[in-house]
Amino acid sequence: MKWSAELICELTQQSLENANHSDLAYLALTGKIELPVRDALGAHISRRWPELTAAREYKRRDLVVLQDARPLAAIEGKMWISFEANFPKKLHHKNPKEGLVAASLSDMKKLRTLAKGSSCVIFTSTVLVGADLGQLDPRHKFAIKYARWHRRGPCNEENLMQAHDRGVSTYRDAMTQYGLASSARLFSGVAFGAPVVGDVVICQIDP
C-alpha cells in the first residue's frame, strides 16, 4: 500500500461517513474536534487492515500506523478556525501557538524525529472549522470555543461556505511548499442553531 495525502484524506472522510453531522458540528463548536477525528481514523484503519496497528499517542505522536511494530505512517493533528487562514498575519505568524503554518512546521519537526532512518511516511492533518454565529441561539454562547475567530468569518458579500472554502483553499495552498496536500469535506451540520462546516487538509511532508 502506498500511503499518500489523498489516501489519508479519503480514509478520514470514510471514517466519519456514518457519523451524525450535527454531532460533529457540536464537537467542533465546543472543543478540539481533531481528537475525535483522529480516533475515528484510527478505528477505521484498524477495521480495514486488521494486520496493521493504528496506535494513538504512540511515542507522543497523535496516530501512528505500524506493521509488526514498524512505523509505516505517522499523523499529527491540529484544529483551526477556517476563517483564520484568510488573514495573512495569522496564517503566517511565526509563533506555532498563533500561526497556522508555524504550527504545522512544529508538527513536521516532531514527525521527522520519529521517522528518521526509516521508511515511515509522515503527515499533518488539520481540521478547519467554520460557523455562522449570527444564527447562534444566544442561550448557548458561553459554550462556544474560539468565538472571536468564528465572528470574523464571512466578509463583505461572502456567505459561510464561501468564506470557509476560501480559508481551506488558502491554507492548503500555503502547505504545498512543504509537500503534497489534499483536502476533503468532513461534515456540514447545525449546533445550537448555528450552521457549522468542517474540512480536513492533509499534507504529506517531504523528507
pLDDT digits (tens, 9 = 90+) for 34-92: 999 999 999 999 999 999 999 999 999 999 999 999 999 999 999 999 999 999 999 99
Mean pLDDT value across residues 163-192:
96
pLDDT digits 0-9 by tens, 106-157 = 999 999 998 888 899 999 999 999 999 999 999 999 999 999 899 887 766 6
- H or E stretch at 101: helix 100-115
Three cell numbers, residue 203: 499534507
Q: Are 171 and 100 in contact (CB under 8 A)?
A: yes
Number of domains in the chain: 1
Three cell numbers, residue 132: 455562522
- Single-letter residue type at 136: L
Three cell numbers, residue 134: 449570527
Q: Which residue has the cell 494513538?
A: 56
C-alpha span between 203 and 7 (Å, rounded): 11
Q: Which backbone phi and psi does 66 adopt, to 5 degrees?
A: -125, 155
- At residue 178 the predicted structure's pLDDT band, cuts being 50, 70 and 90, is very high
pLDDT at 183 over 80: yes
C-alpha span between 190 and 178 (Å, rounded): 34
Looking at residue 156, its pLDDT comes to 61
Nearest Cα residue to 124 out of 82, 165, 180, 66 = 180
Looking at residue 117, its pLDDT comes to 82
Range of the domain at 134: 5-205
- At residue 7 the predicted structure's pLDDT band, cuts being 50, 70 and 90, is very high
Three cell numbers, residue 20: 451524525
Neighbours of 174 (CB within 10 A): 19
In terms of C-beta distances under 8 Å and separation of at least 24 residues, what long-range contacts does 64-68 make, across chains too? 64/114, 64/120, 65/3
Q: Are 26 and 191 in contact (CB under 8 A)?
A: yes
- At residue 158 the predicted structure's pLDDT band, cuts being 50, 70 and 90, is confident
Residue 159 gets which letter from DSSP?
A: -
Mean pLDDT value across residues 173-179:
96
Q: Give 182's strand partners.
A: 202
- H or E stretch at 34: helix 34-48
